[in-house]
Amino acid sequence: MKIGISKISFFVPKYYLSLATLAEARGADPLKYTNGLLQNKMAVAPINQDIVSMAANAASNILTEEDKKDIDLVLFATESGIDHSKAAATNLAQLLNLKSEIRAIELKQACYSATIALYFAKGHILQNPNSKVLVVGSDIARYGLETDGEPTQGAGAVAMLITKKPKILVLENTYAFNTSNIYDFWRPVTMDYALVDGHFSNEQYKAFFKTTFEKYQEKSGLTLADFKAMTFHIPYTKIGLRSLQTIAKLSTHPELFKNFEYSTTYNKEVGNIYTGSLYLSLISLLENGKLKSKDRIGMFSYGSGAVAEFFSGILVPGYKKHLVKDIHKQILKNRQKLTFNAYAKMLTDIPKNDVLVEYEDDQTFQLVEISDYERKYMKKA
């Protein structure tokens, strides 16, 4: 049975910081960010957008009433959890008006967990061929003011509907994976901001890519020539490019480099969205690139700590018809640029108990209140 992605969409908050503004405030050369990291902007979440509201906004871009009836499993991937016990998937299921006869769970392993969610979704559909699975990756990447990681922050969510006979991408059955207990990036439970050993994390990312891609080739019998595009987890664009350069040369594989550009067009404008980052890159490739049906896309997922996986998908004939490019263009176009001071306030304004949040006048799902540690959300009718 062919199983894979039938629908896919992202949501990002409506505020961003230009990395040129950040460079000016930090006395850094702006070229370090735009050419050194290959990033232009980063999305910043206001107090009324958390992982649940962003996931609801991404999912509501794609789900029909019929999908909602057929979904019986919600897999919520995040490393920005809002509760140690209760899964954000339960809040999400209610906001989306899903039926109660579903399973809803949250998954954690840094930026990797949306990838295992896809694998679990496949297993579920193999046993229940008529069901549909909603997979979301939703995160707010915060390193804090004046930290090394500051230019690599971001916020956003990706939602995917996984079904049999997929309309966009068939997930192939070869997976190469690797786990090692390292401290390259982590966030202890009492901390609002991540800890990171930046240069060590870069080295680990590249080493895991080498190991998993070699293993994938050994297991599948495929080689680089079998791929039309390679997509990566994109904490910042340069690391994806540097990883691609370890397996391909621009002179011999120009198509892979052109497709890498398409696959990072959105990421450059959004920054790191952790669990959703690889899938934002996939959306960017599909919506901006010129791939044809039956083309194979490689996907490298990395979650610090660390678990990595290389896997692949084959494009379905007519896949373009099932993308929601116009919605995404609109989301990016409608964003507002922040001044440096507004960014600094928004980044540090993390919702705590007993807050009432001013509702913003637009159509998106928003967090409006936390009282007695219960979160309430609203969407304007």
- Span near ligand HMG by CB under 6 A; candidates 33-41, 81-89, 256-264, 316-324: 33-41
Euclidean distance between CA atoms 221 and 331, whole angstroms? 41
Q: Any contact of residue 156 with ligand HMG (CB under 6 A)?
A: no
Nearest to 278 by CA among 158, 116, 180: 158
Q: Any contact of residue 272 with ligand HMG (CB under 6 A)?
A: yes
Catalytic residue (choose from 106, 150, 233, 269): 233
Euclidean distance between CA atoms 227 and 256, whole angstroms? 8
Reply yes or no on whether 111 is catalytic.
yes
Q: Any contact of residue 154 with ligand HMG (CB under 6 A)?
A: no
Q: Any contact of residue 328 with ligand HMG (CB under 6 A)?
A: no
Euclidean distance between CA atoms 340 and 332, whole angstroms? 20
Bridge partners of 11, per DSSP, are 157
Euclidean distance between CA atoms 6 and 3, whole angstroms? 9
- Candidates 35, 97, 128, 173; binder of ligand HMG (CB under 6 A) is 35
Q: Any contact of residue 149 with ligand HMG (CB under 6 A)?
A: yes
Euclidean distance between CA atoms 117 and 75, whole angstroms? 6
Report cis status (omega within 30 of 0) of the bond before 23.
no
Q: Any contact of residue 151 with ligand HMG (CB under 6 A)?
A: yes
Q: Any contact of residue 111 with ligand HMG (CB under 6 A)?
A: yes
Nearest to 270 by CA among 286, 281, 259: 281
Q: Any contact of residue 78 with ligand HMG (CB under 6 A)?
A: no
Reply yes or no on whether 79 is catalytic.
yes
Which residues ranging from 233 to 252 are in contact with ligand HMG (CB under 6 A)?
Answer: 233, 235-236, 238-239, 242
Q: Any contact of residue 142 with ligand HMG (CB under 6 A)?
A: no
Q: In the complex with ligand HMG, which residue's Cβ is closer, 29 or 226?
A: 29
Q: How many chain residues touch ligand HMG (CB under 6 A)?
A: 32
For residue 264 the two structure tokens come to 């990072």
CA torsion 49-51-54-59 (nearest 10°) is -160
Euclidean distance between CA atoms 263 and 57, whole angstroms? 22
Reply yes or no on whether 369 is catalytic.
no
Residues labelled as active-site residues: 79, 111, 233
Question: Which residues of the chain form contacts with ligand HMG (CB under 6 A)?
Answer: 29, 31-32, 35-37, 79, 110-111, 148-149, 151-152, 184-185, 196, 198-199, 201-202, 205, 233, 235-236, 238-239, 242, 272, 274, 302-304
